[in-house]
Structure 1
């Protein structure tokens, strides 16, 4: 495994600051301060904040792709894998309560700014949408897999937003369980429908 470069450290610091402070409210000086490098060294790696944003989005995409592959390996069934998606809310609840969902907050901010990278940021949602759609298809919900994927994505975003607003970790746990129950009911419906056909 390669050692992290100065560029990697800049991107990591920017990723954290964009999440905690927002893209617009994070300056070059903020990022340089965290990495503890000179302005000159900073500009050697990135000429603009937009360049850093593109790098951050690419790192987030790569990290999520690794996470989804891990869920594929660890989850024996599509149901187990979808549960992994839901449980990420519980795993990250402290961060979510403080700062919201990293994907949702960035997409919303870039949309408000009408930023050129808005579509690139939305690729993170598309990544999860496509993956969830595949899991629901494997559950036997071929005809409405995308609708179910979008419903679960929307619900998880709503939970994250309200948990941030009310600073309520218990709410996340309760809603995560309800989402798991809902997903299980979709699998049960599929099984029942197949039995009625035979």
Structure 2
């Protein structure tokens, strides 16, 4: 691979961004409540003073992590929108993410579902902010089903697909079973075909 053209090097993430990325990783692997400032700082390799210069509380980091995930999700949805040849193929991109992330899902579950669930149990003020991740998927899937010709029940279908994907992620993680994900993805693709109106 060629080196970047001089003057066009990709900028290195700043310390704040590296803290947020490390926190995102740890919140997914061990949970928000069980992640400490010290663990995040250790991954980033910054002093406590430098750490507190960027974030005073763990709740501030949580807000930044949720914003990061929202931005990444919006970018992913834009990519699916651009790459998919029609709504059925775009919905297929959503289903395929279970396969793309299956190794992580088997170990840790769905990153969206696990965070939203944990914050709900904690009755945390950031729960609604985190739940906006589900809303992004719900609204996007709703629009795809409308374009598919299922305007009357688009939201019902969007919620069913969301629920099924969450159930698959939860059970695959509980049983540490990647083959279960593959089998369920095939079922979800067959279901999508069954709800697609004939041309």
Could you say whether these structures have the same fold, taking a TM-score greater than 0.5 normalized by the shorter chain as the test? Answer: yes
* Aligned counterpart in structure 2 of residue 24 of structure 1, from 18, 22, 33: 33
* Aligned counterpart in structure 2 of residue 179 of structure 1, from 158, 174, 188: 188
Q: Does 1:115 align with 2:128?
A: no
* Aligned counterpart in structure 2 of residue 142 of structure 1, from 140, 143, 151: 151
Q: Structure 1 regions of 5+ residues with no counterpart?
A: 193-198
Match of 1:58 in 2: 67
Match of 2:6 in 1: none
TM-score (normalised: structure 1): 0.94
* Aligned counterpart in structure 1 of residue 96 of structure 2, from 87, 106, 123: 87
Q: Determine the C-alpha separation between the residues in 1 that align with 2:76 and 2:40.
A: 26
Q: Classify the secondary structure of the residue corresponding to 1:3.
A: coil
Q: Determine the C-alpha separation between the residues in 2 that align with 1:2 and 1:138.
A: 39
Q: Does 1:69 align with 2:78?
A: yes
Give how far 1:169 is off.
0.5
Give how far 1:2 is off.
4.1
Match of 1:196 in 2: none
Give how far 1:123 is off.
0.2
Give how far 1:4 is off.
1.0
CA deviation digits over 1:148-190, x for unaligned, max 9? 0000000000000000011100100010010011011101xx3
What does residue range 155-170 of structure 1 map to in structure 2 within 5 Å?
A: 155-170=164-179
Q: Structure 2 regions of 5+ residues with no counterpart?
A: 1-9
Q: Determine the C-alpha separation between the residues in 1 that align with 2:113 and 2:46.
A: 30
* Aligned counterpart in structure 1 of residue 114 of structure 2, from 77, 102, 105: 105
Match of 2:198 in 1: 191
CA deviation digits over 1:71-105, x for unaligned, max 9? 11110110000010001000000000000000000
Q: Determine the C-alpha separation between the residues in 2 that align with 1:96 and 1:19.
A: 10
Q: Classify the secondary structure of the residue corresponding to 1:144.
A: helix
CA deviation digits over 1:93-135, x for unaligned, max 9? 0000000000000000000000000000000000000000000
**Aligned alpha-carbon RMSD (Å):** 0.9
- Structure number having the greater helix percentage: 1
